[in-house]
Amino acid sequence: MSRWRETPRGTYPTTAANTIEIRIEKIAQLFHSLDPFPYREKDLDNDVEEFIVGWARELPPDKPLRIVVHLPETEASTPETHELGAAFAQYFAYRARVIGLDLNELFRVGRRAMAIGFTVLSFSVITGQTVVNLAPGPIGRVVEESLLIFGWVANWRPIEIFLYDWWPIVRRRNLYQRLSAAHVKLRPYKTGDQKQQAVARK
């Protein structure tokens, strides 16, 4: 894997295998512009969330995550900046809870579908046996097999839910839980004007 990672505003060498780096010019870039709540309670911007989650998905799952935010020195001194770690933790924890609710809803749908599927399967088996007893010939067997197939088809959805559908949701919930526990580090940088002023003073 390359040691260089592209951020939304630039490119930086990664310093650790569990580090996510992002560069901004203003703290407001990180959050949804239409969200009226204070920074600590704001939703992350969709592009920022997608970037962080996409990067975190590629990192080793057995190490704690760290988010490094590169920002101008003038932004690093604002009161909002000191709440950035708490804002990240609160947002990702909230998203993990929402995904957990989605998982619970999926299981509720699965249980309901399973109850319906078993009912249909039982009805198909009993009806098929009744038909064979009443018409013990090729037609009766065809009807019995058709009803049995219909009964198993009715169980396709609950089987899919409990065998496959829940895994991706659990992985995503766990990823957001890891991000909610990530250590957020600020790394200020000098802007162009600040660099020119520093050179002039020299």
| pLDDT of amino acid 111 | 96
Helix 46-58 vs helix 166-180: crossing angle, to nearest 10:
100
Residue 7's Cβ-count burial label (10 Å; 0-12, 13-18, 19+) is middle
Statement to judge: residues 88 and 49 lie in one domain: yes
The total of structural domains in the chain comes to 2
Same domain (yes/no): 89, 10:
yes
86 & 103 share domain: no
Task: Kindly state whether residues 32 and 105 are assigned to the same domain.
Answer: no
Range of the domain at 79: 4-94+179-201
Burial of 71 (0-12, 13-18, 19+ CB in 10 A): buried
Cβ contact 4:14 at 8 Å: yes
Print pLDDT tens along the chain (202 aa). 333 344 444 444 444 668 999 999 988 888 887 666 666 667 899 999 999 999 999 998 888 999 999 999 988 888 778 889 999 999 999 999 999 999 999 999 999 999 999 999 999 999 988 988 888 888 888 888 999 999 999 999 999 999 999 999 999 999 999 999 999 999 998 876 544 333 334 4
Q: 75 with 110, same domain?
A: no
Residues 87, 183 share a domain? yes
Q: Rounded to whole angstroms, how far apart are CA atoms 56 and 63? A: 11
Number of neighbouring beta carbons within 10 Å of residue 79 = 7
Q: Are residues 15 and 89 in the same domain?
A: yes
